[in-house]
Amino acid sequence: MADDEVATKAPESDAAQQSVFPGDTPAQEGPSMGEHCVTDRPTLAGEKPTGEMTKLGDVDVYITKPSDYPHSPSKLLLFLTGGTGIHSTNNQLQADKYAAEGFLVVMPDQFAGDPAPNSAAELPSPDQNTSWIETVKLRAAETAKSFVIDMWLARHTPEKVLPLLHAVLSSAKDEFADAVANGGGVYAVGYCFGAKYVLMLAGEHTDTMIGGQPKPEDEEAGMVKQGPLIKAGAIAHGTMITKDDVMAVKAPVCMVCVENDSLFPDEVREAGKEALEKAGVEHEIEVYPGVPHGFAVLGDYEDEKIRDAQKRAFGQMLGWLQAH
């Protein structure tokens, strides 16, 4: 897909009907994509990204820095996007907002040049005047859209994504050692698809893929718990998150959630909250009512309530990172 096609696509086009990760439990049931997972949001008028495209660990990244860096101390922030990835203008502008608040932001291409397919075309809903054959065609189109997204998700599992993130983290820690030292570690934010991976990086796992290659002295590779790899994380309207993802979290986390979100169901969120409380992990979970899934990603909305919630969500996530 051409970069200019991705740049205007909604950053949250990444939800699937069920988990396609081997051995994983389904994250949710219901429609594979909601309206706001496939609807483009206009870029805010007059705003243009200020960062640059480069490579870290042989992975394409978008990097944006505070205007006074390196003369003033900064902290390293790993920014994990939704399905549209690093060429989305809205994602880049969102990263720039964190840079303006003192973070050196590294936004990696989690999808190795294969962002989510453009499935944003709206399908009209059948009504009483719709013929039988038209209804069949509409349902077939909906099924085709879901199938395309499901096939895309099957190409981007933890086995593919995590090695890319490890490579970027390793290189970023070397190149921006001053920012890592200043923050006492790496911070992370994740939206939609990226939210799951922030939780994985914030967790303690026996799977060596999560924590990287085991040390030579490890007696049983893969059986030694590793992680977390980040100091603190914040996520917004995650997709494909499982109870196990949240239960493994050990680093402080902030979650911006949407009320009645089929893509991050109440039962998963509540089970995760209970596990965090039981484990004594510092956390903050806020559920935003009356907003669509994907609302926290920068983009223009006509509804003032959604615009206000978007600003409040950014403030919540930023405040959490600054406090840790």
The pLDDT assigned to 45 comes to 72
The pLDDT assigned to 43 comes to 74
Widest CA span of the chain, in angstroms? 70
> How is the chain split into domains, by residue range?
3-323
Q: Which CATH architecture has domain 3-323?
A: 3-Layer(aba) Sandwich (3.40)
Q: What 3-state DSSP class applies to 37?
A: helix
Q: Which of 155, 162, 251 is nearest to 213 (CA)?
A: 162
The pLDDT assigned to 1 comes to 47
The 10s digit of each residue's pLDDT in 51-69 is 999 999 999 999 999 999 9
- Start-to-end C-alpha separation, the chain: 38
Pairing type for strands 52-56 and 59-64 reads antiparallel
The pLDDT assigned to 18 comes to 37
The pLDDT assigned to 220 comes to 55
The pLDDT assigned to 273 comes to 95
The pLDDT assigned to 217 comes to 53
The pLDDT assigned to 226 comes to 82
The pLDDT assigned to 208 comes to 55
The list of the chain residues with pLDDT below 50 reads 1-40, 119-126, 135, 137-138
The 10s digit of each residue's pLDDT in 187-224 is 999 999 999 999 999 999 876 556 555 555 555 555 67
Q: Is the pTM of this model over 0.85?
A: no
Q: Report the C-alpha gap between 99 and 65 in whole angstroms.
A: 5
The pLDDT assigned to 46 comes to 78
Q: Report the C-alpha gap between 12 and 294 in whole angstroms.
A: 6
